[in-house]
Structure 1
Amino acid sequence: MAKAFASQGDMEEKNISFTEVGEGLYAFTAEGDPNTGVIIGDESVMIVEAQATPRLARKVIECVRSVTDKPISHVVLTHYHAVRVLGASAYGAREIIMSDTAAAMVEERGQEDWDSEFGRFPRLFQGHEEIPGLTRPTTTFSDRMTVYLGKRRVDIMTLGRAHTAGDAVIWVPDQEVMFTGDIVEYHSACYCGDGHFGDWPETLANIAAFEPKSIAPGRGDALVGEEMVAAAIANTADFVESTYKPVARIVARGGSLKEAWDAVRAECDPKFADYAIYEHCLPFNVARAYDEARGIDTPRVWTAERDQQMWEALQG
């Protein structure tokens, strides 16, 4: 019998940080758990990423209420993953915003992703009984849209495929701050199981072209200052490349998934083994890289059953 996923044994509560990344802009972080962004406008508040459950969302709301009593009017979801979206109901927002592609992925694979992630991350789904069902947007966009929180302008846009096909980023021009979702991480492994390795570096370059003064990443500490932003973008690009290139070499010579796994470990362990959720992400990253290197452009849907089959193959 295959051993458990690394994340299944991770049951310790994480220490929360609430960091100002610009005037009226905050990053809610928790030692490598999914981050949430907060954008305070003149009249109301926008939340970026909802958390996995209403229980976790209420921790974000507590932090929001420590700095403002303005109502939460918008929730923006950068992609469809369950750990990002299923806490949305707690905010009582009038608008829930996703890209068209992310919204389509909710319908295509949202329930399967929920079932899969529920099995992988038991700690994050404590209190799951409160989740009312799949989170669907009230508003979608194709390439970009602008929301005004009073006078504060917020641009929501797609800059390319990376962590998923439907990734969105949120840009606050008055402070030159970006909320990137899981396109950028900081001292946390990238989850690439639904990713696009070939596109990811260009998408990172598109983010860098904005020259953000700060970034609230998908996981890890808030990135305050241009030096920290540049380092995190470069490190994320290195992680993605270091995962894909060894797999591509194995596939080119007709090697197996297990050989790809060994090659990625040899390349990535020395650089990234101490990163948050590294051991959890690794099998999913190798499996997706193996598919992409074989010409499978659309990531296959993860289900609880497929998770186990893949893990058993890698343990064999």
Structure 2
Amino acid sequence: MAKAFASQGDMSEKQISFTEIGKGLWAFTAEGDPNSGVIIGDDSVMIVEAQATPRLANKVIEKVREVTDKPITHVVMTHYHAVRVLGASAFGAEQVIMSAKARGMVVERGQEDWDSEFQRFPRLFEGHESIPGLTWPTTTFTDRMTVYLGNRRVDLMHLGRGHTAGDIVVHVPDENVMFTGDLVEYHSACYCGDGHFADWPQTLERIRGFDLAAIAPGRGDALIGSEMVNNAIDLTRDFLESTYRPAVQVAARGGTLKEAWDAIRAECDPKFADYAIYEHCLPFNAARAYDEARGIDTPRIWTAQRDIEMWEALQG
């Protein structure tokens, strides 16, 4: 390999923030590292996104205990990626929920994703030795599911493909607040290695249609107020379209993956080079954009070996 992935050398500690984005609703954020959400009901708590390891999940639990002593009964994962789900055991929840599609992706590619992510971004797996194995849901659903935390209603919805085929969002109607997972990012690159570029923008517009008071995005700061919410959706959409459009143009003329990578960099570097995890995401985003532009609808499974081969091709 000509050089390591950018993420392999990223060992800097991130500052944690814990922001109330609605009554009893909190966003756990960490300067572009994976976010988690907290929903406090009448008698129990729901966590959205479990972090990558039990040790990292305990950092979320510590923040929860600063604001409530209610038991954590539900953990919801918006998609299947290892950095989101492998810490679930720390919460001791009665229910672990994902979409049926996300569970299918754990079956199909969960171990490969874990191995791949661990190799390319080791800092995000602090305390990896405490992971008991793949995270399996106790409950799944197809399009929509409602959970009541006492009288507090929480709607889980699949609004369309985007970051993965199985993404869901978590909406709390009484405060009109949404936890979007990696469908929406804020001043952080979108990881598109399992993405669906053609569908993702319309999924974003469905999120926009809720006219939300606040969003806890997948990465980046909590988004409070309609102006900040819409700005984040616009930036996310611009990132996706600026990545996919050059790949489509290169694929249409029969160009190579390396040519697509160069074209994507030319379009995206001036706008997004200062975004969190930008360099980390770029090779995977370019590879997936090039595949989709050539008609490959289902993202190919990333393995540690495929990561290396792709990176060597781009560096050649």
Do the two structures share a fold, i.e. TM-score over 0.5?
Answer: yes
1:228-250 alpha-carbon deviations (Å, 9 max, x no partner) = 00000011000000000000000
Report the Cα distance in structure 2 between the residues aligned to 1:124 and 1:279, rounded to whole angstroms.
16
Report the Cα distance in structure 2 between the residues aligned to 1:127 and 1:57, rounded to whole angstroms.
10
1:34 maps to: 34
1:171 maps to: 171
The reply to whether residue 159 of structure 1 matches residue 156 of structure 2 is: no
Deviation for aligned residue 1:261: 0.4
Report the Cα distance in structure 1 between the residues aligned to 2:299 and 2:200, rounded to whole angstroms.
14
Deviation for aligned residue 1:2: 2.1
1:123 maps to: 123
2:112 maps to: 112
Amino acid at match of 1:78: T
The reply to whether residue 7 of structure 1 matches residue 7 of structure 2 is: yes
> What is the TM-score of this pair, normalised by structure 1?
1.00
Runs of 4+ displaced beyond 6 Å: none
Report the Cα distance in structure 2 between the residues aligned to 1:170 and 1:86, rounded to whole angstroms.
19
1:243 maps to: 243
Amino acid at match of 2:6: A
Aligned length, in residue pairs: 316
Residues 148-297 of structure 1: matches in 2 within 5 Å? Answer: 148-297=148-297
1:86 maps to: 86
Report the Cα distance in structure 1 between the residues aligned to 2:293 and 2:124, rounded to whole angstroms.
32
Amino acid at match of 2:230: A
Please state whether the residue corresponding to 1:124 is helix, strand or coil: helix
Amino acid at match of 1:70: K
The reply to whether residue 17 of structure 1 matches residue 17 of structure 2 is: yes
> Gaps spanning 5+ residues in structure 1: where?
none
- Taking every aligned residue pair, what percent have the same amino acid on both sides? 79
Please state whether the residue corresponding to 2:244 is helix, strand or coil: helix
1:141-183 alpha-carbon deviations (Å, 9 max, x no partner) = 0000000000000000100000000000000000000000000
Report the Cα distance in structure 2 between the residues aligned to 1:161 and 1:7, rounded to whole angstroms.
26
Please state whether the residue corresponding to 2:73 is helix, strand or coil: strand
Deviation for aligned residue 1:126: 1.9
> What is the TM-score of this pair, normalised by structure 2?
1.00
Report the Cα distance in structure 1 between the residues aligned to 2:87 and 2:296, rounded to whole angstroms.
32
Measured on the aligned residues, the alpha-carbon RMSD in Å equals 0.4
1:52 maps to: 52
1:73 maps to: 73
Please state whether the residue corresponding to 1:195 is helix, strand or coil: coil
Amino acid at match of 2:129: E
Amino acid at match of 1:37: G
Deviation for aligned residue 1:12: 1.2
